[in-house]
């Protein structure tokens, strides 16, 4: 009998599998297909202070081994998330959920985080300082150690729940960014968000995305995720949530060996809505195949090899 439980910032998860923000909505559509309470938890759609329609279309483009998106943080705003989405979510999901927060100023990050942290349904705040698809927000806070520490400190003063900072891979030194989060008081970090990419329409001789550039996700970025999780987790003592191109139970174990305590699944949910269900169901057999009795025991195991 294998043990799939892990501890994420003081909260026990039945397994380390977490659908990533922006790929699982608020869980309703997936709950019609299977019991989403089998998940470790999930990170709901990124929330800002005001409602956002997002970027103009087209904002999705396919590519080899992945996809580009420039959705632009479309969401109903924090008021409606609290008054409408969370009460509905409570009816279908019995576990603490991860609230993903984005913003255009330190004050907005702090305000939205404080309000969501006060909600009983929320277990963690995932602070998105790494969105590459919003001009003037998101990634502008996550590309320098000074700015990421500043926003982390400001939010940490306002929230009662564990704070996990979501980092961008579009930097030169991910270890320093991770350390800046830890120094700012973060309880954990998550990475990687999407890599900057672009496609061109050969017939129109113009960018495929209206936003011109977008975030690359999918299997193509998995090796980058493994490398950055390994480097970031080696630089800090706080838990790391790994993500980026995860498509199988084997990928989950690989990221955990690199140093991840839990693992988010993103683009795979858009390809197959049962992706997380399949990964969770496959996990025990894959653990047995590799002689793993407890997932807690393998976290960062590749550093001992």
Q: Is the dihedral of CA 75, 80, 84, 89 positive or negative?
A: positive
φ and ψ of 114, to 5 deg? -60, -40
The Cα 124–Cα 121 span in angstroms is 10
Rounded Cα–Cα distance for residues 61 and 71 (Å): 11
User: Which helix or strand (DSSP H or E) is residue 108 part of?
Assistant: helix 106-117
The catalytic residue among 63, 119, 131, 181 is: 131
B/e letters for 237-250, b = 16+ CB within 10 Å, e = fewer, are ebbbbbbbbbbbbe
131 belongs to the catalytic site: yes
Rounded to 5 degrees, what are φ and ψ at 278?
-65, -45
> Three-state SS string across 255-278, please?
HHHHCCCEEEECHHHHHCCCHHHH
**Spatial distance between the Cα atoms of 76 and 132, rounded to a whole number of angstroms:** 20
Q: Is 145 helix (H, G, I), strand (E, B) or coil?
A: helix
- Where in the sequence numbering do the catalytic residues fall? 131
């Amino acid at each position: 009998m294998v043990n799939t439980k892990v501890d994420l910032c003081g909260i026990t998860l039945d397994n380390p599998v977490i659908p990533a923000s922006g790929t699982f909505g608020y869980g309703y559509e997936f709950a019609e297909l299977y019991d989403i309470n089998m998940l470790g938890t999930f990170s709901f759609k990124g929330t800002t202070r005001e409602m956002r329609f997002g970027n103009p279309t087209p904002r999705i483009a396919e590519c080899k081994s992945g996809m580009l998106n420039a959705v632009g943080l479309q969401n109903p705003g924090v008021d409606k998330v609290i008054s409408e989405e969370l009460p509905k979510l409570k009816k279908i999901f019995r576990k603490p959920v991860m609230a993903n927060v984005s913003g255009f100023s330190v004050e907005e990050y702090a305000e939205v985080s404080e309000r969501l942290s006060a909600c009983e349904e929320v277990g963690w705040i995932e602070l998105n300082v790494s969105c590459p698809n919003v001009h003037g927000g998101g990634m502008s806070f996550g590309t320098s150690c000074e700015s990421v520490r500043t926003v982390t400190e400001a939010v940490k003063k306002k929230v009662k729940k564990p704070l996990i900072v979501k980092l961008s891979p579009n930097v030169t030194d991910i270890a320093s960014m991770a350390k800046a989060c830890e120094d700012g008081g973060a309880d954990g970090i998550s990475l990687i968000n999407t890599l900057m990419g672009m496609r061109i329409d050969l017939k129109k001789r113009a960018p495929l995305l209206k936003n011109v550039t977008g975030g690359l996700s999918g299997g193509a970025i998995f090796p980058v995720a493994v490398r950055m999780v390994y480097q970031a987790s080696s630089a800090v003592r706080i838990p790391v949530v790994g993500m980026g191109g995860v498509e199988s139970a084997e990928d989950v174990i690989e990221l955990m060996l690199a140093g991840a305590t839990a693992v988010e699944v993103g683009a795979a949910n858009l390809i197959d809505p049962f992706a997380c269900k399949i990964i969770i169901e496959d996990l025990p057999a894959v653990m047995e195949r590799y002689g793993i009795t407890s997932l807690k025991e393998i976290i960062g195991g590749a550093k001992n090899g």
